[in-house]
Amino acid sequence: MAAVKNGRVLVVDDEADVLFAMKMLLKTEVKEVVTEKNPENLLKLLDRERFDVIFLDMNFKSALHTGNEGIYWLNRILQKDPNATVILITAYGDVELAVRSLKEGAYDFIVKPWHNDKLLETLHHALEAKQLKQKGQAAKSKTNSNASPILGESEAIREVLYKIDKIAPTEANVLILGENGTGKELVARALHQKSFRADKPFVSVDVGALTDSLFESELFGYKKGAFTDAKEDRMGRFEAANGGTLFLDEIGNISPTMQAKLLTVLQNRQVTPLGSNQPIPVDIRLITATNAPIYQLAAQNLFRKDLIYRINTVEVVLPPLRTRGADVELLAQHFAAYYAPKNHKPIPEFTPATLQKLRQHTWPGNIRELQHAVERAIIMAEGNVLQPQDFSFSAMELEGPQPAAAGALVFDQQLPLSEIERETIRRVLEKNKGNISKSAKELGLTRTALYRRLNKHEI
């Protein structure tokens, strides 16, 4: 957390509203935020001052007028400081250009209009990666487990950290298994940061949210004119991750058609964009994750066994929070130290009774549920000491999964996985009377992910 709070951030954008919004958002998150409207002043500014992260707009009205201004200034920054951490700011229509910037050396990109939580998460990861590089722990010293952002002292999590240290410096494909909210993407990022590909792109895709029609265009890319809305060439995620790591989340939820196409790419190590006959070689380290019972699905012929062999050279199983003992207290204090300053409150203490209540809870939503519970308690608490009554859990959270009631939907095991997902979402929405926030929380999804699935299943 110190890496974030001590960070100095530069924001370069010729829109005054963007600069103001970014400064308001970031000023409580980092030590200093500097804004600059004219990119022509950028290099002189970098001569005078040091910045941990630079947010750089992709297009400037008064600059080069080529549409590639962001790439141009990115290259100028990296010529001056090859270790600079640059996050591009782009409009939705320029995402293809932003993906290209990853190959040019950008750390990541965000799309306008951005979501504050996503922007802060990207900044947090960038500052942590910067700190690791400064300590020589990113690209050259890859075996120091103390560099891991994964918190925990329990035997279960120590086993995970041990596996990460053993696996990361190899080229093995990794399958991460675990319940919702256990930190699967965090493990994927740790594997990347400790790998020999740490200075190359880390590209994450929620494949469970993709329809069959979007799967190929998103992962493999397409050529102009390949279909009605293909107005220009677009690079796929495999190509964007070339040289680095590709993380495919929710792999257990993809259809048999997607599975076959993915298997072909992994076997041949090349992709063919839609509308092209020319295959493109790709060099990626593949990490996948799922909370689905993937081996049961394979036994029911709902998931290809040959694809499982391809994606899980090594397997990492993340323990649910309820099995991690004292880690609950450690994580609760960590989240308190993060969310208290963010919400303009002093870092609170936990009474012994409060800690006992947290340890006794089963945490069906795992770390994500604990994170939200701590933030809610900090916001609603009357004082600087968190009491047991500051943490309230619903009946479902307290009692855990319930047996099927009379008339409840029972799934036919022969149903396709996509139909099971559709009916599950429909049932939860019906139960919550269409409330998206409640339904997303119960399903262990973000609101955005739930909206994508509603669109996917035409609910």
Place of tokens 């050279």: 313
Considering all CA atoms of the chain, what is the largest pairwise distance in Å, rounded to the nearest integer? 71
- Provide the pLDDT for residue 422: 74
DSSP 175: E
Confidence check: pLDDT of 454 > 90: no
Q: Are 238 and 374 found together in one domain?
A: no
Whether the CB-CB separation of 443 and 421 falls below 8 Å is answered with no
Q: Is residue 407 part of a domain?
A: no
> Where residue 396 falls among pLDDT bands split at 50, 70, 90?
very low
> Where residue 388 falls among pLDDT bands split at 50, 70, 90?
very high
Q: Among residues of the chain, what percentage have pLDDT more than 70?
A: 85
Q: Are 351 and 431 found together in one domain?
A: no
pTM, rounded to two decimals: 0.58
| E runs forming strands in 304-444 | 314-317, 349-350, 385-386
Work out the average pLDDT over 144-160.
Answer: 74
Selection from 378-387, 392-401, 405-414 with the highest mean pLDDT: 378-387
| 313 phi, psi to nearest 5 deg | -55, -40
Which of the listed residues 317, 351, 368 is the one where a domain comes to its end? 317
Q: Is residue 114 part of a domain?
A: yes
Q: Are 228 and 253 found together in one domain?
A: yes
Higher pLDDT, 429 or 134: 429
Q: Are 299 and 177 found together in one domain?
A: yes
Q: Are 233 and 328 found together in one domain?
A: no
> Where residue 93 falls among pLDDT bands split at 50, 70, 90?
low
DSSP codes of every residue in 254-310: --HHHHHHHHHHHHHTEE--BT----EE---EEEEEESS-HHHHHHTTSS-HHHHHH
- Own/partner pairs, 170-174, CB within 8 angstroms, 24+ separation: 170/314, 171/285, 172/313, 172/314, 173/285, 173/286, 173/287, 173/288, 173/310, 173/311, 173/312, 173/313, 173/314, 174/286, 174/287, 174/288, 174/312, 174/313, 174/314, 174/315, 174/316
At 311-370, the pLDDT tens digits run: 999 999 999 999 999 899 999 999 999 888 888 888 999 999 999 999 999 999 999 999
Domain residues for the domain of 9 are: 2-134
Work out the average pLDDT over 301-309.
Answer: 92
Q: Are 172 and 262 found together in one domain?
A: yes
Higher pLDDT, 120 or 230: 120
Confidence check: pLDDT of 143 > 70: no
- Provide the pLDDT for residue 204: 92
Q: Are 81 and 152 found together in one domain?
A: no
Which of the listed residues 257, 282, 317 is the one where a domain comes to its end? 317
Pairing mode, strands 221-222 and 234-235: antiparallel
> Where residue 411 falls among pLDDT bands split at 50, 70, 90?
very low
> Where residue 400 falls among pLDDT bands split at 50, 70, 90?
very low
If one counts every other C-beta atom within 10 angstroms of the C-beta of residue 232, the result is 10
Which of the listed residues 282, 317, 352 is the one where a domain comes to its end? 317
- Provide the pLDDT for residue 335: 92
Work out the average pLDDT over 424-450.
Answer: 75
Q: How far, in Å, CA of 131 to CA of 126, rounded?
A: 9
Q: Are 37 and 128 found together in one domain?
A: yes
Q: Are 102 and 165 found together in one domain?
A: no
Q: Is residue 453 part of a domain?
A: yes
174-177 sheet: strands from edge to edge: 202-206, 245-249, 285-290, 174-177, 314-317
> Where residue 105 falls among pLDDT bands split at 50, 70, 90?
confident
DSSP codes of every residue in 209-269: G--HHHHHHHHHEE-TTSSTT--S-EE-HHHHTTTSEEEEETGGG--HHHHHHHHHHHHHT
Q: Among residues of the chain, what percentage have pLDDT more than 90?
A: 41
Work out the average pLDDT over 279-302.
Answer: 92
Whether the CB-CB separation of 130 and 87 falls below 8 Å is answered with no
Work out the average pLDDT over 6-17.
Answer: 89
Average pLDDT, the chain: 82
Q: Is residue 296 part of a domain?
A: yes
Q: Are 15 and 117 found together in one domain?
A: yes
Which CATH number fits the domain that encloses residue 259?
Answer: 3.40.50.300
Q: How far, in Å, CA of 370 to CA of 120, rounded?
A: 19
Q: Are 304 and 156 found together in one domain?
A: yes
Q: Is residue 412 part of a domain?
A: no
Q: Are 43 and 173 found together in one domain?
A: no
Q: How far, in Å, CA of 320 to CA of 182, rounded?
A: 6
Place of tokens 């947090």: 124
| Token couple for 281 | 């070689």
Which CATH number fits the domain that encloses residue 364?
Answer: 1.10.8.60
Number of domains in the chain: 4
Q: Is residue 409 part of a domain?
A: no
Q: Is residue 10 part of a domain?
A: yes
Q: Is residue 191 part of a domain?
A: yes
